[in-house]
């Protein structure tokens, strides 16, 4: 049986005990939780279940009770007493059965998980407050309080090299929704020499439709266009990722078609996902 016939739905999210005290994460729902943007992860899996006709999965995830059920399931399957962050891969099959895989994940500043804004290209990195472990910036209004939707500008300590897959990918439901049928992403990473998820590298998936950028292999991508950050629309063929949903909801980016031919070597970008939050990138052509 081919992967397209025997696939499951999944999402990867961050477990981080600090999120229990994070007002921005509480606001994202379903209340105080150590799981990053959990309600948005539920939404993406629910939409996928509806699209693929996984009626039992849809029933399990639907409504307020579905979100509470997901939270309780994760609390049962993940050691919530752990003091270190984790990457949690949450998988749901057509029968509505949920399983998880758990991996270590490096610490991230709250400002990299919930930024107040994404600084434009060329902006000087903010000074870091050593008392907060780099969680906040220093300034005239220095505070541990939430600043707008987030906690300041995200860290730029580690910049990813962001390449473009030389081979186009045909948009399909398997590029629009996150499933275990992911050969197109693995092959794109192999083509540009990414050997491990620990590599500070990402590859952009290019559509066969006019070379439109769809997304990164593991991330949402944002480009600086017309004085604001933009991310490719879903019509380009990519997924509606969790951090993408959060950015659009808080007015931190807009949708706009970006073609591979329009990218410039060395231009700054941002990439994001539901485990690492927001990370700066540099386009490498």
- The residue ranges of every structural domain in the chain are 9-104, 160-283
Q: What is the pLDDT of residue 143?
A: 37
Burial 165-185 (b: 16+ CB within 10 A, else e): beebbebeebbbbbbebbebb
3-state DSSP call for residue 42?
helix
3-state DSSP call for residue 272?
strand
Q: What is the pLDDT of residue 134?
A: 44
Alpha carbons 31 and 174: distance in angstroms, whole number: 31
Q: How far is CA 141 from its chain centroid?
A: 29
pTM for this one? 0.91
3-state DSSP call for residue 62?
coil
The residues near 131 (Cβ < 8 Å, ≥ 6 apart) are none
Q: What angle do CA 154, 156, 161 make, to 5 degrees?
A: 120
pLDDT by residue, tens only, the chain of 285 residues: 344 568 999 999 999 999 999 999 999 989 999 999 999 999 999 999 999 999 999 999 999 999 999 999 999 999 999 999 999 999 999 999 999 999 999 999 999 999 999 999 998 765 555 444 444 333 333 334 677 889 999 999 899 999 999 999 999 999 999 999 999 999 999 999 999 989 999 999 999 999 999 999 999 999 999 999 999 999 999 999 999 999 999 999 999 999 999 999 999 999 999 999 999 999 999
Alpha carbons 267 and 221: distance in angstroms, whole number: 13
Q: What is the pLDDT of residue 246?
A: 97
Alpha carbons 169 and 155: distance in angstroms, whole number: 32
CATH code for the part of the protein at 9-104: 3.30.470
Alpha carbons 223 and 264: distance in angstroms, whole number: 11
Long-range contacts of residues 27-36, Cβ cutoff 8 Å, at least 24 apart: 28/246, 29/67, 30/64, 30/67, 30/68, 30/71, 33/71, 34/80, 35/71, 35/74, 35/88, 36/113, 36/242, 36/274, 36/275, 36/277
Q: What angle do CA 97, 277, 193 make, to 5 degrees?
A: 90
Q: Backbone phi, then psi, for 14, in 5-degree steps?
A: -95, 130
How many other C-beta atoms lie within 10 A of the C-beta of residue 138?
14
Fold for the domain defined by 160-283: D-amino Acid Aminotransferase; Chain A, domain 2 (3.20.10)
Token pair for residue 78? 């993940």
Q: What is the pLDDT of residue 130?
A: 45
Q: What is the pLDDT of residue 124?
A: 75
| Alpha helices by DSSP H, 53-199 | 55-61, 63-77, 110-113, 173-176, 183-191
Sign of the torsion angle spanned by Cα atoms 195, 184, 8, 256: positive
């Amino acid at each position: 049986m081919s992967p397209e016939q025997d696939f499951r739905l999944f999402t990867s999210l961050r477990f981080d005990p600090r999120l229990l005290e994070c007002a921005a994460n509480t606001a994202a729902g379903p209340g105080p939780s150590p799981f990053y943007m959990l309600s948005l992860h539920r939404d993406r899996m629910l939409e996928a279940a509806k699209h693929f006709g996984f009626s039992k999965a849809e029933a399990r995830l639907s409504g307020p009770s579905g979100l509470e059920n997901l939270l309780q399931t994760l609390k049962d399957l993940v050691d919530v007493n752990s003091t270190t962050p984790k990457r949690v891969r949450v998988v749901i099959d057509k029968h509505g059965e949920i399983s998880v895989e758990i991996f270590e994940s490096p610490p991230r500043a709250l400002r990299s998980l919930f930024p107040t804004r994404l600084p434009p290209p060329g902006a000087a990195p903010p000074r870091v407050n050593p008392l907060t472990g780099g969680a906040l910036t220093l300034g005239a209004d220095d505070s541990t309080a939430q600043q707008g939707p987030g906690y300041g500008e995200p860290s730029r300590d580690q910049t990813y090299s962001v390449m473009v897959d030389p081979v186009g990918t045909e948009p399909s439901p398997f590029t629009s929704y996150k499933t275990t049928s992911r050969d197109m992403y693995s092959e794109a990473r192999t083509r540009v020499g990414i050997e491990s998820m620990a590599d500070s590298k990402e590859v952009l998936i290019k559509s066969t439709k006019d070379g439109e950028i769809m997304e990164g292999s593991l991330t949402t991508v944002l480009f600086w266009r017309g004085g604001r950050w933009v991310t490719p629309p879903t019509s380009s063929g990519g997924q509606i990722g969790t951090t993408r949903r959060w950015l659009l909801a808080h007015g931190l980016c807009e949708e706009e078609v970006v073609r591979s031919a329009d990218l410039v070597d060395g231009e700054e970008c941002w990439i994001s996902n539901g485990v690492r939050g927001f990370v700066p990138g540099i386009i490498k052509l």
